[in-house]
Chains A and B, each alone.
Chain A
Amino acid sequence: MIRLPDPKPDVLARRDAVIAGLRAAVADAEGVIADPISLKPYETDGLSAYRQMPLAVALPETTEEVAAIMRFCHANGVRVVPRGAGTSLSGGALPMADTVVVGLMRMNQILDINYADRCATVQAGVTNIGITNAVAEEGFFYAPDPSSQIACMIGGNVAMNSGGAHCLKYGVTANNLLGLKIVTVDGEILSIGGEHLDAAGYDWLGLLTGSEGQLALVTEITVRILRSPEGARAMLAGFASNEIAGACVDSIISSGIIPVALEFMDKPAIHACEAFAHAGYPLDAEAMLIIEVEGSVAEQDDLLARLTATCERHHPISMKVSQSAEESLAIWKGRKGAFGAVGRISPDYLCMDGVIPTSQLPDVLRRIQEMSDSFGLKVANIFHAGDGNLHPLIMFDANDPSSFQRAETFGADILKLCVEVGGCLTGEHGVGVEKRDLMPVQFAEHELEQQRRIKSAFDPDWLLNPSKVFPLRPPAELPRAA
């Protein structure tokens, strides 16, 4: 288990005063939650093995309310955990006992859609899919599409720099933003960027994206919206080994085609998804690729023919090219339902998120299998093959503490392996609480110290999203930038 820091006793002692201060900052009486039953949903996020009731929850409806909350918390030394939909898989929204959760879900307004300039300005609590839904009528979409896109909120996407299945072509959140409205730790409201590209000066937009709530709260976001392609179609190909499927991925990239999605599933994942979705996946395959292309029907035909020829050179044991939008949906259905599918086999699983150079794929999958055997825990591998972003799903039994411990150690070992082969700890889920203590695997102490100093430049008293991202250590040693 990951250690959580001790709460500040003085803040706990001032609980009533803190709640009163929040009530003064938020206009709606329902906008501050303090009773234990109503606080319960905020005790955890998508990393549900970790739970901690917060001191209180504030649900502001405007940026000004967020600023008022921050001014109060800053003046009173109260630590704050920003929260969107609470879908973080790394514990990014996990509270501490002395923290105020600032939930941005009530800030769910789409403020402006500007088709001529291909951008939209929305509040942080708009869901990812909500942006696409708002612009779909005009044939536009918002590109990053994390698996949780129906629930997750754009503010959380910005905090974690979320990716998705289509980021090989369209990039991650950071590549699809133009501007932010932020609230600093001391309650100042600032605009970063705007509706234009590449603001001059330092790239605060880039630094804030993926900063996991360590630097500021994000309340409004201006995103780029893109026109949808004429159409899209998927194919799948099953192979006799992970090595062959990996070699096929290399061949596809080398052929000059960048598919809009290139997903890899290993045998356990294929079986889990097929049992769940009946998508027609090849049960005799050791590995399977889902490949999607975009364009007019003729262009899709051309690209799928090229991809079929490439796959054929690797002797697939099965191949299916979708002939219609319905067939493409069926191919995707299994993949999109992967988490639910694995959940049917094992109610408890950890979803890991390491990244590796794609050339290391077969070797890493072999070593993950060896670890799976030695830990005695099953694992299903699903990942974005084009960019090497692995999502091993480690199955365990939450009723058995030793099973959970082994799962955590197994997960940590996978992530260390990712770093060892030239990759990184997290591609799109963020460090959060989950990977905090693994940071020294990827960074030397002086490098972490440099990151801490940047954090201190924004948040000198370390009040924002405590105990995440950086390994814990005694507060006396916290660096001060100023």
Chain B
Amino acid sequence: MNPSEAETAIAGRIAAAREPLLVRGAGTKSGMLRPVQAAGMISTAGLTGITLYAPKELIISARAGTPLHEIETALAAQGQHLIAEPPDLSALLGTPANTQTLGGVVATNLSGPRRVAWGAMRDHVMGIRAVTGRGEVIHSGGRVLKNVTGLDLCKLLTGSHGTLGIITEITLKVLPAPETVGTIVIPGLDAEQAVAALSAALGSPYGVSGAAWLPADAAALLPEPIAPGRSIALIRIEDFAASVAYRTEKLRGELGFPGAEILDDPASRALWRAVRDVRVLSMTEGDGIWRVSVRPSAGPGVSRAVEGVTGYLDWGGGLVWFAGPATETTHRAIEAAARAAGGTWTLMRAPDSLRSAVDVVPPEAAPLAAITRRVKRAMDPRGILNPGRIYAGL
């Protein structure tokens, strides 16, 4: 496919660039990871519009700068949705709501609660067009649901934070949106008890598509309070109405918690949106925000291992959100807890001084770091795209 005018323009700017460029969409996630020192900026915010939507083929393509909510609206009109349920982190990151772009979500590979059952953003990127640091327009994948032709640069570019190429257009697999959402709420469990219950639910045959635990302070931030003053474990089932009714009842019975309740569709949707968008993280202005991913059974231990922080668990216990003092001490404690559990961490928000001083994601073993440097050079030989965004000096 021939490059578009806009792609050619971006390619020209990159080819001519003599100094590093900040790559961004709407900039809503600029506060993640490390700050970028760059002389110029390339924004994809002007590259907008859905270029292909074939509901019967479960495929949508859009330019990278298309606001995500436009895509969600177009899908909803056909009864479909984004499978990975990407969050809008504007409340968390202090940016305007509803402005994040498709490209931003893909470049950061952020997924919501449904990730635990249905895969991450990266699992549904079927095709990508991008301008590399060489100033070349490339594509990988395509507009079909299965494709193993050549190296999967869709996976490499997704979650690469604009450091390997500027994503210009994305094709996603989409699915029919569920008719009904139901939630089992179990109040009063501690983290271990809750994760055991979530694990039983996720290991049940009932197609659980969300499993979170909110301690009382997090639950208090929900738009509609549930079980005030107590923690809540949340188990979501999405399907046709009759199935949701059957499955939530059956699972509630099997889990055997006398206090467990079932939330109806509207309440469930509002609740999971708040969990998705991390609006339930109890935090104060100036707090640092971290995300830790571990095996679910390690989540409670990780969340308790760090002092002076608040948090909650998603992904059946495997995703731990933390808010706490934006200090190296807190960061090191979170690093240590994640490392001890064999997991991974991401610094989501902090002052530039902290972001520059610490490992915002785990450092790689030396032989892998060498491969990383060579891959970066293969995509961006002059090191001009978002230098230092993920790793210092890269």
State the A residues within 8 Å of B (CB). Answer: 114-119, 139-140, 160-161, 163, 167-168, 171-172, 174-175, 184, 186, 188, 190-192, 194-207, 209-211, 214-215, 227-230, 250, 253-254, 256-258, 295-296, 298-299, 302, 355-359, 384, 386-389, 422-431, 435, 439, 442-444, 446-448, 450-451, 453-458, 460, 469, 481-482
Contacts and interface: CB of A to CB of B under 8 A. Distances in A.
B295 A119 contact: yes
A222 B135 CA distance: 37
Contacts of B152: 161, 174, 206-207, 209-211
B47 interface: no
Given A163-B146, A442-B150, A454-B151, A357 B59 contact: yes
A171 B119 contact: yes
Contact of A200 (B155, B156, B346, B372): B346
B297 A194 contact: no
B203 A118 contact: yes
A447 B205 contact: no
A188 B369 CA distance: 12
B368 A190 contact: yes
A387 B145 contact: yes
B151 A116 contact: no
B138 A228 contact: no
Interface string B136-147: 101111111111
B374 interface: yes
Contacts of A116: 196, 199, 203, 296-297
A430 B146 CA distance: 11
Contacts of A198: 109, 111, 115, 120, 122, 159, 293, 344
A207 B371 CA distance: 12
B384 to A, nearest CB: 16
B240 interface: yes
A206 B342 contact: no
Contact of A203 (B156, B177, B343): B156
Given A227-B205, A299-B246, A190 B150 contact: no
Interface string B182-207: 00000000000000100100111101
Contacts of A139: 205
B245 to A, nearest CB: 11
Contacts, number: 263
Interface string B330-354: 0000000000001111100000000
A232 B342 CA distance: 36
B357 interface: no
Nearest to B203: A227
* Residue among A114, A160, A422 facing the most chain B CB atoms (10 A cut-off): A422
Contacts of A254: 55-56
A contact face: mostly helix, strand, loop, or mixed: loop
Nearest to A204: B368
A423 B378 contact: no
Given A197-B115, A355-B145, 6 more contacts: A195-B295, A202-B390, A207-B152, A355-B146, A428-B146, A481-B378
A211 B140 CA distance: 13
Report the 9 A-B pairs with minimum CB-CB distance, sorted nearest first.
A206-B155, A200-B361, A457-B374, A427-B146, A453-B378, A387-B145, A195-B295, A256-B176, A188-B367
B358 interface: no
A162 to B, nearest CB: 8
Contacts of A172: 146, 148
A69 B137 CA distance: 39
Contacts of B150: 431, 439, 442-443, 448, 451, 469
B156 A206 contact: yes
Contact of B146 (A197, A199, A388, A447): A388
A227 B205 CA distance: 6
Interface in B19-55: 54-55
A202 B54 CA distance: 30
A196 B375 contact: no
A219 B253 CA distance: 42
Contacts of A424: 141-142, 144, 147, 149
Contact of A430 (B148, B164, B372): B148
Contacts of A206: 122, 152, 154-156, 158
Nearest to A206: B155
B362 interface: yes
B123 interface: yes
Nearest to B155: A206
Given A197-B293, A201-B390, A299-B243, A446 B54 contact: no
A199 B293 contact: yes
A180 B357 CA distance: 30
Given A204-B368, A206-B158, A250-B56, A355 B120 contact: no
A446 B297 contact: no
Contacts of A429: 148
B371 A458 contact: yes
Given A207-B156, A388-B146, A450 B138 contact: yes
A422 B377 contact: no
Contacts of A196: 293-295, 318, 342-344
Contacts of A355: 144-147
B287 to A, nearest CB: 20
A160 to B, nearest CB: 7
Contact of A454 (B79, B156, B318): B156
Contacts of A386: 145
* Residue among B138, B342, B365 facing the most chain A CB atoms (10 A cut-off): B138
B323 to A, nearest CB: 18
B319 interface: yes
A382 to B, nearest CB: 15
Given A197-B116, A199-B293, A199-B344, A455 B151 contact: yes
A457 B372 CA distance: 8
B264 interface: no
